[in-house]
A and B are shown apart, each in its own frame.
Chain A
Amino acid sequence: MKNKLTVKDLINIGVFTALYIVVFFVSSFIGYVPIFMVLLPVICAVVVGIPFMLFLSKVHTFGMVTVMSIILGFFAMLLGRPWPVLFIAVAAGVVAELLLKIKDYKSIKMAIIGSGVFSIWMMGMTLPMFFGYREPYFESIRAGYGDTFADTLYAITPDWMFFVLIVLCVVGGILGGLLGAAVLKKHFKKAGMA
C-alpha cells in the first residue's frame, strides 16, 4: 500500500467530486417543496451514495476521502452556508476515512458505513435553519420566499429536528451505500471496473 497521494488519486478525487456535486444538485431540486427542504439531506444522501461507493472502490490511499470532504465543504460555503459547514464536512470526512482505514479500504461493509458517516456533511447545508442562525435565516426566508413558505418551514423545524436529521442522514447514507454496492455488483464488477 502506498502512503502518499499520487496524481492519479488526486485526479480521481476531482472527477468523482464533480460527479458527486452534479448528482447532489440534481437530486436537491426537490428541495423547493417546504417539507422536502428539511428532508433534503436524507434524499440526497441516498442518491449520492451510488457515485460515492464507486469513488470508494477507487480509494486506496489515506487522505482521499478527507480531501473530498474539504472540497465539498468549500463548495457549501460558496453557496452561502455559514462557516461551520467546513468543519462539519471535514470532521465527517475524517471519521469516514478512519473507519475505512481500519479495514484497509477493502471491506464493503465498512464502505457502506463510511458512506453513512460521510453523508453527515450535508447537515451543514441545513445548518442555517437551526440554533443561532435560525431567526435571521427565517427572517431572510420570509423576506425572500414569502410568508407561506417560511411558516411551513418554521413549523417543521424545531431544534431537536437537527439531531433527528443527523440520524436520518446516516441512515440515508447507509441506504445509499447499500444501493451503491448493489449497483457496483450488478454493473461494474462484471465489467471489471470496480
Chain B
Amino acid sequence: MQAVISFKESGGRATLDPRTSILSIFVISMVMIGGGLSGVEYWLRLFCCLIPFVFLVTVHNYQFAAIYLGLYLFSAVIEGAVIQLTSGGWNLLFVIVAGIISRFLAPMVMGYCVMQSTTVSEFVTAMERIHVPQVITIPLSVMFRFFPTISEENKAVSEAMRMRQISGKKQSLIKKMEYELVPVMMSTVRIADELSQASLTKGLGGDIKRTHICEVGLRIRDYVLMLFLLVVTVLFVVY
C-alpha cells in the first residue's frame, strides 16, 4: 500500500514520459475495468495486461513481474473454467475474487510502475508542458505525497489503540470509526500546516516561474506506446 501510491524520491530519468504514463493508465483502466471477456475486447484486455508486465521487466523488477503473471494466470483459469463448473455461493465467491484481480490489478500495477519511475518534479514539469494550471498540479502532487502518510498515521493510531487495549471488537461501528478517524484527521490538519510552511520556504507560490533541472520530453518509445494505445482505444470504442 505504501509504495504503491507515492512518487519516486530521486534518481535517474523516468522510463516513460509522465504524459505517456498517464495516458496508458487511463487506457488500461478503461479497457480492463470496463471491457468484457469476449471477442475483440478479450484480445485488447490481453494486450493491456501485457503493458505493465513489460514495464516491470524493463525496470528489472523480475520478482514482481512473476507474481503479476501468476495472479493473471490464476484469474484467467478461474474465469475460463471454474466459473462454469460451480454455482450458487461458491460461484459468487470465485467471481468476486477473479473479478477483482483481473479488473483492478493491471491498472494498479501500471500506476505503481509509473509512480516508481517518476519523480514529483518530472510529473509537475510534464503537466506544465500540457498547460495544466498549478491549481490542479499542486493539490495532485500533494495528494500522492500524502497517501502513504495516511496509512502510516493510521498504523500508528491502531498501534496506540492496541497499546491501551481498546480493541475494535467490543465497540459499535460508529465508535470504532470515531476512534480511528478523529486522530487521523487531527494529524492530517497538523501535517497540512507543516507541509505548507515547508513548501513556502522552498519558494512555492511566488510569482516568479520556478526552474528545475529534470529532463522531460517525448522519446521514440513514448511515441510507439502512444500509437499502440491509440489503436487500442479506437478498437475499444468502435467494437
Contacts and interface: CB of A to CB of B under 8 A. Distances in A.
Interface in A1-51: 5-8, 10-19, 21-23, 32, 47, 50-51
| Interface secondary structure of B, over-half rule | helix
Contacts of B184: 19
Given A8-B196, A146-B95, A16 B186 contact: no
A71 interface: yes
A12 B196 contact: yes
A143 B38 contact: yes
Interface size class of B (residues with CB under 8 A): 35 or more
Contact of A145 (B96, B142, B145, B186): B96
Interface residues of A, number: 48
B91 interface: yes
Given A14-B143, A146-B92, A146-B95, A70 B29 contact: no
Q: Which of A18, A21, A70, A71 counts the most chain B CB atoms within 10 A?
A: A18
Nearest to A139: B36
Nearest to A133: B34
Contacts of A139: 36
Contacts of B21: none
What 8 pairs between A and B have smallest CB-CB spacing?
A: A14-B142, A80-B33, A7-B205, A14-B139, A146-B95, A18-B146, A143-B37, A10-B138
16 contacts: A8-B200, A15-B192, A21-B143, A22-B150, A54-B185, A63-B135, A67-B136, A71-B143, A143-B37, A145-B95, A145-B96, A146-B83, A146-B91, A188-B186, A191-B186, A193-B186
Interface of A: 5-8, 10-19, 21-23, 32, 47, 50-51, 54, 58, 63, 67-68, 70-71, 77-80, 128, 136-137, 139-140, 143-146, 148-149, 183, 187-188, 191, 193
